[in-house]
């Protein structure tokens, strides 16, 4: 009962004191608010980037692996990767014949070319040579028309399936199905379009045109290394499939037993691991800056509270002489510090997360505002006020009543 009275009375006195010194209160609130705003803006942007990257990885499919001469992310000796032997069609066929756990095995190859339809043109579009199982392995869906079949591939037909960006640019407001467009200088008939997938690592997956594999090899000459796309029925088998692929490829590529693999098996989760390694240190530095800013706000609270104790020394002496306990004085000053911090935290949360949203609208950076982040901002600010208000509160409570009454 007495504790509740102390809390109510302390809160009342704290609020009156804050209103009595409005300028000082506003400046202190601003100090805490800037710290919280900085911290939560950083949190909002980092959470948004993580969420965006997870969504991008999901577009690669969770049941596929991709074998290539070089890894997707090269953090090691790039010269070693550059000098590796090409992956050939014979090796693709060997994997198809010998991999018992593989559901689909396809050769994959890309190049770049300009595409056009009437007056509309796009430069440096990714041209993919593919078999009929390409959408399944790569996680694409056909949104209009059809994908080409084995007959199209065997007969090297000039047919094409377009990505969403190419469709929107070349055929605005017009159905592309059955239209004749040009890839380079060759005419191709559009038989289908792909559903939109968005960007992966700031590169559009929809700026592409897919043609039959044998048609691709007819028009894009040159000795090249292929990628082997492999899908499995059960994602739980990916580790076993990877082990089987390593064995098959080492045999067909005649890799010596004492030598490391001269190929790379790429999986989406490997990109996630690399992303965390590359961004972990950056996030730590950014959050460190936010915490330092908030620490400065906390020091400001302590300084203002110490000034308040000195100004109200006689008031404290009168209250102690009338029977107020140390606990009552401590609660009053602790509540005063916490109220200032909580108000600053609430305002800082609004400004910080609002700023993160604005940044996400005008820049490529993403931002995510989570309800728990809002609660965290206010509570963390109140905790800062609590911690930095302990010493001033204890100092006020330990003043000698007689000495305090002598203060003018």
Q: Looking at residue 10, what is its pLDDT?
A: 52
d(CA 405, CA 315): 8
Mean pLDDT of 341-368: 74
Can you tell me whether residue 103 is helix, strand or coil?
coil
Are 44 and 292 within 8 A, CB to CB?
no
DSSP state of 236: G
Query: Would you say residue 209 has pLDDT above 80?
Result: yes
**So where are the chain's domains?**
2-56+272-406, 64-266
Q: Mean pLDDT lowest for which of 33-47, 130-144, 208-222, 270-284?
A: 270-284
Mean pLDDT of 26-35: 76
The backbone torsions φ and ψ at residue 94, rounded to the nearest 5 degrees and listed phi first, read -65, -40
Q: Identify the residue with better confidence: 240 or 198.
A: 240
Furthest C-alpha separation in the chain: 105
d(CA 146, CA 332): 74
Mean pLDDT of 49-76: 73
d(CA 193, CA 144): 5
CA angle 165–201–163, rounded 5-degree value? 20
Q: Looking at residue 369, what is its pLDDT?
A: 65
Rg (CA), the chain: 33
Segment (H or E) for 272: helix 268-311
Query: Would you say residue 272 has pLDDT above 80?
Result: no
Query: Would you say residue 405 has pLDDT above 70?
Result: no
d(CA 40, CA 377): 7
Q: With b meaning 16 or more CB within 10 Å and e meaning fewer, what string describes 211-220?
A: bbbebbbebb
Q: Looking at residue 62, what is its pLDDT?
A: 65
d(CA 65, CA 327): 65
d(CA 175, CA 194): 13
Query: Would you say residue 359 has pLDDT above 80?
Result: no
Mean pLDDT of 312-325: 68
Name the nearest CA neighbour of 137 among 47, 66, 69.
66
Cβ contacts of 277 within 8 Å, gap of 6 or more:
none
Q: Looking at residue 45, what is its pLDDT?
A: 75
Are 171 and 203 within 8 A, CB to CB?
no
Query: Would you say residue 212 has pLDDT above 90?
Result: yes
Can you tell me whether residue 42 is helix, strand or coil?
helix
d(CA 194, CA 81): 32
**Helix, strand, coil percentages for the chain (3-state, nearest 5):** 60, 15, 25
Quick: pLDDT tens for 99-110. 888 888 999 999
- Mean per-residue pLDDT of the chain: 79
Q: Mean pLDDT lowest for which of 118-132, 135-149, 391-405?
A: 391-405
d(CA 408, CA 398): 19
Q: Looking at residue 59, what is its pLDDT?
A: 64
Q: Looking at residue 114, what is its pLDDT?
A: 93
């Amino acid at each position: 009962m007495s504790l509740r009275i102390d809390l109510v009375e302390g809160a009342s006195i704290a609020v009156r004191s804050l209103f009595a010194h409005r300028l000082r209160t506003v400046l202190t609130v601003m100090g805490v608010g800037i710290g919280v705003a900085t911290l939560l803006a950083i949190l909002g942007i980092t959470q948004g980037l993580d969420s965006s990257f997870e969504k991008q990885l999901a577009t690669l499919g969770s049941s596929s692996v991709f074998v290539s001469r070089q890894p997707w992310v090269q953090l090691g000796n790039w010269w070693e990767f550059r000098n590796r032997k090409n992956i050939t069609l014979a090796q693709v066929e060997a994997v198809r014949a010998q991999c018992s756990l593989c559901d689909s095995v396809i050769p994959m190859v890309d190049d770049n070319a300009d595409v056009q339809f009437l007056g509309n043109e796009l430069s440096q579009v990714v041209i993919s040579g593919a078999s009929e199982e390409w959408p399944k392995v790569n996680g694409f869906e056909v949104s209009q028309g059809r994908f080409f079949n084995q007959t199209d591939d065997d007969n090297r037909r000039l047919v094409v399936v377009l990505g969403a960006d190419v469709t929107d640019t070349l055929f605005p407001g017009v159905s592309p199905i059955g239209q004749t467009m040009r890839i380079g200088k060759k005419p191709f008939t559009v038989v289908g379009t792909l559903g939109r997938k968005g960007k992966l690592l700031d590169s559009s997956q929809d700026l592409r045109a897919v043609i039959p594999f044998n048609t691709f090899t007819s028009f894009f000459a040159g000795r090249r290394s292929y990628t082997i796309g492999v899908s499995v029925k059960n994602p739980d088998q990916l580790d076993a499939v990877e082990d089987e692929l390593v064995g098959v490829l080492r045999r067909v590529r005649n890799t010596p037993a004492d030598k490391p693999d001269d190929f790379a098996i790429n999986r989406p989760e490997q990109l996630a691991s690399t992303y965390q390694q590359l961004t972990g240190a950056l996030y730590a530095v950014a959050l460190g800056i936010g915490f330092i800013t908030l620490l400065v706000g906390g020091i400001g609270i302590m300084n203002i509270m110490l000034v308040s104790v000195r100004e109200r020394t006689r008031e404290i002496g009168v209250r102690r002489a009338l029977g107020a306990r140390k606990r009552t004085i401590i609660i009053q000053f602790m509540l005063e510090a916490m109220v200032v911090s909580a108000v600053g935290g609430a305002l800082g949360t609004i400004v910080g997360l609002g700023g993160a949203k604005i940044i996400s609208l005008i820049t490529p950076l993403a931002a995510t505002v989570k309800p728990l982040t809002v609660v965290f901002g206010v509570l963390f600010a109140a905790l800062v006020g609590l911690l930095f208000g302990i010493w001033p509160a204890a100092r006020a409570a330990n003043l000698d009543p007689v000495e305090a009454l002598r203060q003018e």
